[in-house]
């Protein structure tokens, strides 16, 4: 039996990155031997064991053969004669196919260290095309390692396009697609994930609502980048700079889906695009089983981002109605998410990445003023029933009107 450290831990150590998880590969052993040593088996499809003391994962070396469609269409052979090289050959990228033995020596039969030096994400072998999930994984790695300068090798991108054209992506479960998407969204450059999917044709298959935005023009006066798809990815990049919250990033990604439905005769204008996008967001979230809190914020941002951009022109009563509709009284964090997504929208434009957004400060202050109205004082004054809510609403509107008046007085003539 020989044990090797493999996968991400070896790769990240070579890149000088912090190591989160360690995976070990066992060559020359059997399930019976692992169990006799006190390991506990957890893998159903192939033998994976937990160490009896530290609970880290140890997998037997294995060979996989394609037997059907999709991510699960494989048979697994994990006999004790499978070599280290045979196991590493089935892995996705060369940078993930490096092993380290107990003495610290690296075993790199497929050139992973050279690809790390060259900043290339390259497939190990033609077995790459057998697993459609690898299209998403490579796109995710492209996003994760973009800050280090990595790009997808041209020949690997060609194989990703081949997988897309084969129809294999359609066999992926919604859960796996969303899992890879969410992990990509957590990186510092989430927009790269969607750029790579677009390059190999997978965006149209997996995220057709986002794909439909590319080629849709916007008014150059407001959007120097013109293309709505480009604006969407620029906005997502800005959202990643502003917040680590995945719901905010997702809401920013889908905030303009309705622009793909604008009549051609009205282009480049997009009247009512926020509301037109609501059914598209609902369908996307239902199809990929997106968490409800992500969906709800996304719907709010799509519906209200134009109102937020026009905040200074809104009547005080409209501002209160917006707060009511968003249920901000009970969930004030939703207002924060909405405002951050709107900042990302404004900054997601070529040459306007550092734009100020006073609307956010203004609305946040309006909300604080409205929240300070004490309902107990209203009750103490003798209001009852529906009159309590009416008086609360009236005082909140009055507080915002007074604030607007002070702002107007400060404006130069």
Under the banding of pLDDT at 50, 70 and 90, the label for residue 83 is: very high
- Domain membership of residue 17 (yes or no) is yes
pLDDT, tens only, 129-152 = 999 999 999 999 999 999 999 999
Query: 65: which residues sit within 8 A by CB, 6+ positions away?
Result: 74, 75, 77
- Mean per-residue pLDDT, 105-113: 97
Residue scoring higher pLDDT (41 or 71): 41
| Banded model confidence at residue 260, pLDDT cuts 50, 70, 90 | very high
Tell how far CA 139 is from the center of its chain. 12
Domain coverage including residue 35: 1-110
Rg of the chain in Å (alpha carbons): 27
- Whole-angstrom distance, CA of residue 67 vs CA of residue 105: 35
Q: What is the DSSP letter of 348?
A: S
* Residue with the larger pLDDT of the pair 281 and 375: 281
* Residue 342 pLDDT > 70: yes
The CATH number of residue 10's host domain is 3.30.460.10
Residue 156 domain flag: no
Q: What is the per-residue pLDDT for 46?
A: 72
CA–centroid distance for 277 within its chain: 19
Of 77-91, 212-226, 376-390, highest mean pLDDT:
212-226
Instruction: Give the pLDDT confidence of 301-339 residue by residue, as tens digits.
Output: 999 999 999 999 999 999 999 999 999 999 999 999 999
- Say yes or no to pLDDT of 72 above 70: no
Could you give the CA distance from residue 77 to residue 62 in angstroms, rounded to a whole number? 5
- The phi and psi torsions of 74 (rounded to 5 degrees) equal -135, 150
The sheet with strand 2-6 has its strands ordered as 40-41, 48-50, 57-60, 23-27, 2-6, 99-100, 106-107
What is the CA 53 to chain-centroid distance, rounded? Answer: 35
pLDDT for the residue 79: 83
Q: How confident is the model at residue 54 (pLDDT cuts 50, 70, 90)?
A: confident
Q: What is the average per-residue pLDDT within 40-60?
A: 86
pLDDT given for residue 413 in this prediction:
53
| Domain contains 401 | yes
Contact 133, 181 (CB under 8 A): no
pTM of the model: 0.91
Would the pLDDT of 411 be above 70? Answer: no
In a domain, 105, yes or no: yes
pLDDT at 294 over 90: yes
Whether residue 119 is contained in a domain is answered as no
* Any domain includes 248: no
pLDDT, average across residues 100-113: 96
Count of domains in the chain? 2
| pLDDT on residue 64 | 76
End residue of a domain, out of 77, 110, 143: 110
Please say if the pLDDT value at position 412 is more than 70: no
pLDDT at residue number 20: 84
pLDDT beyond 70 at 73: no
CA 173 to chain centroid, in Å, comes to: 17
Q: What percent of the chain has pLDDT over 90?
A: 85
User: Residue 69 has what DSSP assignment?
Assistant: S
Calpha distance 10→100 (Å, rounded): 7
Report the SS3 class of residue 347.
Answer: helix
Boundary (domain end) residue, out of 47, 82, 110 = 110
162, part of any domain: no
Rounded to the nearest 10 degrees, the angle between the axes of helix 386-410 and helix 316-325 is 130
Judge whether residue 380 has pLDDT over 70: yes
Residue with tokens 């997998």: 59
Residue 265 reports pLDDT greater than 70:
yes
Whether 220 has a pLDDT exceeding 70, the answer reads yes
Mean pLDDT, rounded, of the chain: 93
The encoded tokens of residue 30 equal: 């059997």
Among 89, 110, 131, identify where a domain stops: 110
pLDDT at 234: 98
pLDDT of res. 141: 97
What is the CA 346 to chain-centroid distance, rounded? Answer: 20
Coil, strand or helix at 147: helix
- pLDDT grade, residue 192 (50/70/90)? very high
Q: Is residue 295 part of a domain?
A: no
Would the pLDDT of 409 be above 80? no
CB of 326 closer than 8 Å to CB of 300: yes
């Amino acid at each position: 039996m020989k044990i090797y450290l493999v996968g991400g831990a070896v790769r990240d150590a070579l890149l000088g990155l912090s190591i989160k998880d360690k995976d070990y590969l066992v060559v020359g052993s059997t399930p019976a031997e692992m169990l006799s040593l006190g390991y506990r088996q957890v893998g159903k499809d192939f033998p994976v064991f937990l160490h009896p003391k530290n609970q880290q994962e140890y997998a037997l070396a294995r060979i996989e053969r394609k037997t059907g469609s999709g991510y699960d269409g494989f048979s697994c052979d994990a006999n004790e004669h499978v070599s280290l090289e045979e196991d590493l050959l089935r892995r996705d990228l060369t940078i993930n196919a490096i092993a380290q033995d107990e003495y610290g020596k690296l075993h790199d039969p497929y050139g992973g260290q050279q690809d790390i030096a060259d900043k290339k994400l390259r497939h190990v072998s033609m077995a790459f095309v057998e697993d459609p999930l690898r299209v998403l994984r490579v796109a995710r790695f492209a996003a994760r390692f973009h800050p280090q300068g990595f790009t997808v090798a041209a020949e690997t991108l060609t194989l990703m396009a081949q997988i897309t054209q084969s129809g294999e992506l359609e066999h992926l479960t919604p859960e796996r697609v969303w899992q890879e998407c969410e992990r990509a969204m957590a990186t510092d450059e989430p927009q790269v994930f969607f750029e790579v999917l677009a390059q190999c044709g997978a965006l149209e298959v997996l995220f057709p609502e986002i794909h439909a935005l590319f080629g849709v023009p916007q008014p150059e006066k407001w959007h120097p980048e013109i293309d709505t798809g480009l604006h969407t990815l620029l906005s997502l990049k800005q959202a990643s700079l502003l917040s680590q919250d995945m719901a905010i990033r997702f809401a920013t990604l889908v905030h303009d889906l309705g622009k793909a439905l604008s009549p051609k005769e009205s282009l480049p204008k997009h009247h009512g695009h926020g509301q037109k996008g609501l059914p598209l967001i609902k369908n996307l979230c239902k199809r990929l089983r997106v968490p409800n809190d992500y969906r709800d914020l996304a719907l709010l941002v799509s519906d209200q981002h134009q109102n937020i951009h026009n905040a200074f022109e809104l009547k005080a009563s409209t501002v209160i109605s917006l707060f009511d509709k968003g249920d901000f009284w009970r969930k004030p964090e939703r207002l924060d998410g909405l405002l951050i997504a709107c900042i990302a929208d404004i900054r997601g434009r070529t040459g306007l990445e550092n734009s100020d957004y006073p609307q956010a400060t203004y609305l946040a202050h309006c909300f604080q003023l409205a929240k300070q109205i004490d309902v107990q004082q209203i009750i103490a004054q003798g209001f009852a029933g529906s009159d309590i809510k009416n008086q609360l609403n009236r005082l909140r509107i009055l507080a915002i009107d007074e604030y607007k008046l002070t702002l107007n007085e400060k404006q130069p003539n």
